[in-house]
Amino acid sequence: MTHLTMTALFLSALLLSSGIRLWLSLRQAAHVRGHRDAVPVEFAGGIDLASHQKAADYTLAKGRHGRFDLAWGLVWVLLLTLGGGLQLMHDTVSTVFDPTGLWHGIALFGLLSVSGFLWELPGSLYYTFSLEARFGFNKTTAALFLSDLAKSTLISVLIGAPLLWCVLWLMRSMGAHWWIWTWGVLIAFNLAAMVIYPVFIAPLFNKFEPLKDEALAARVTQLLSRCGFRAKGLFVMDGSRRSGHGNAYFTGFGAAKRIVFYDTLLETLNPDEVEAVLAHELGHFKHRHIVQRVAVFALLSFILFALLGWLGQQDAFFNGLGVSSRSEALTLILFSLLLAPFTFPLTPLMSYWSRKHEFEADAYAVAHARADDLVSALVKLYRDNASTLTPDPLHSLFYDSHPPAAIRIAHLKAAA
C-alpha cells in the first residue's frame, strides 16, 4: 500500500461518513420540524402541545449544534493529519524531550489533549451555558464548570499518564505481538474501572446519599428480592446540580453494583413509576446485557489492536496521514483518528443491538411491574427531558440506542 492510497482511503472514509451524518441530521431536522405543530395521537393525553413544541425546538437546536460540531471536528482532524499539525506537535515536543524516550510520547499526548480541549471549548461552552440554559436544563455554574475541569484534569494525569506510560512501554518492549499484551492490559483496566469508578471517582463530582424515603426503599428492596438482585446500596445523586434531566442507572460490577437515582427523577415520578423504571433496569441485568457488551467490546478491541499492530509497521500509514516521524505515540494517535470514520458503518448495527436490549428489558419490567406504570413514567421522562416524539425513522434507525417513543409505548401497551 502506497502513502497516496492511504491518503485516498482516509479522505474517502472521512468525507463519506461526514456526508452521511450531515444528511441524516438534515433529515431529522426536516421531519421534526414538519411534525412540530401536532402532538401524536398516542401521546395527546400525557403531553401538551407546548411541551411537544419545546421538545421539537430542543431537538432542532441540538441538531444545529451537532452539525457545527461535525464541521468543526472535521477541520480539526484534517489540520492534525494532512495539515501537518501532528508533525508540528511532535517536533515541538522534541525540543524539550528526547524523541526516542517514552516521556516524549506522554508529553505529545498531553499537548494534543490540551490543544483538542481548547479547540472544542467554544462549542462546549455554548452547549452548556447557552443551548441547555435556553431550554431550562443547565444548572452548571461557571465555578462548578471550572471545578469539574480541574478534577477531570487531575484524574487524567494521575491515572491516564501511568496507563499511557505502560502502553508505550509494552509497544516498545514486547516485540511484534505487543498489541496482545496491550489489549490485555486495557481490558483489565476497563474492568477495574467499573469497580473503582462508582466508589472513588464519581463521588468527587456528585453527592451520593442513601435513599431516605423508607417506603420507596422498602418497595425497591422487595423488587430486588423478587428479581434475585443484590446491590451494594440504593443512592440518590444530586444530578440537579448540573442539569434538569432525570435518570436512573446501575453502576459498578460484581459486588460493587449500586443503584443510583437522580434527585430530579424522584421529584418527577411516583413510587409505582420508579419501581417500573427500576424493573426495566433490572431487566438489563437479568439478560446479562452489560456482560454481553463487555464481551463484544473485548472482541472488537482485539480485532482493532491486531489491525493496529499491522498498521504500525507500514510506512504508508504514517506518510499517508501527513506524518514523517515514527513513534509509538504517533501510532496510537493516528489510529484513534482513523477509528471514527472507518467504524462508522457499525453504528446502525450497534444501535439495533441496543434497541433489542431495551425491548427485552421492557418485557422483563412488564413481568415484574405494571406496564401502565412504565408507560406513564416514560411519558413523563419524554416530556421533562424534551425528547422528540417524532424522530425521522431513518435517523432513528441509524443512531437511536432506545426505540422511538411511539413504537416503545405501543409495545408496552400491547403487553399491558
Per-residue pLDDT of the chain (416 residues; tens, 9 = 90+): 788 899 999 999 999 999 999 999 999 999 999 999 999 988 988 899 999 999 999 999 999 999 999 999 999 999 999 999 999 999 999 999 999 999 999 999 999 999 999 999 999 999 999 999 999 999 999 999 999 999 999 999 999 999 999 999 999 999 989 999 999 999 999 999 888 888 889 899 999 998 888 888 888 888 888 888 877 778 899 988 888 777 777 776 665 677 888 888 888 889 999 999 999 988 998 899 989 999 999 999 999 999 999 999 999 999 999 999 999 999 999 999 999 999 999 999 999 999 999 999 999 999 999 999 999 999 999 998 999 999 999 999 999 999 999 999 999 988 77
Please report the pLDDT score of residue 260 as a whole number: 87
What pLDDT is stored for residue 294 in this prediction? 93
Enumerate the domain spans of the chain. 1-135+269-289+301-416
Q: Determine the pLDDT at residue 255.
A: 58
Query: CB–CB of 252/258 below 8 Å?
Result: yes
Which residues are CB-contacts of 253 (< 8 A; sequence separation ≥ 6)? 191, 194, 195, 290
Alpha-carbon torsion (390, 71, 8, 94), positive or negative: negative
- Catalytic-residue membership of 362: yes
Which residues 6+ apart lie within 8 Å of 71 measured at CB?
none
Among the options 273, 362, 384, 392, which is catalytic? 362
The whole model's pTM is what? Answer: 0.91
> Sheet of 208-210: strands edge to edge?
208-210, 234-237, 258-262, 248-251
Q: Could you give phi then psi for residue 216, rounded to 5 degrees?
A: -65, -40
Annotation marks residue 358 as catalytic: no
Burial pattern 337-354, b for ≥16 Cβ within 10 A else e, equals bbeebbebeeeeeebeee
> Which residue in 117, 120, 128 sits closest to 74, CA to CA?
120
Catalytic residue among 57, 281, 372, 400, which? 281
Q: Which of 76, 78, 81, 68 is CA-nearest to residue 22? A: 68
Helix/strand/coil for 35: coil
Rounded to an integer, what is the distance from CA 412 to the centroid of its chain? 26
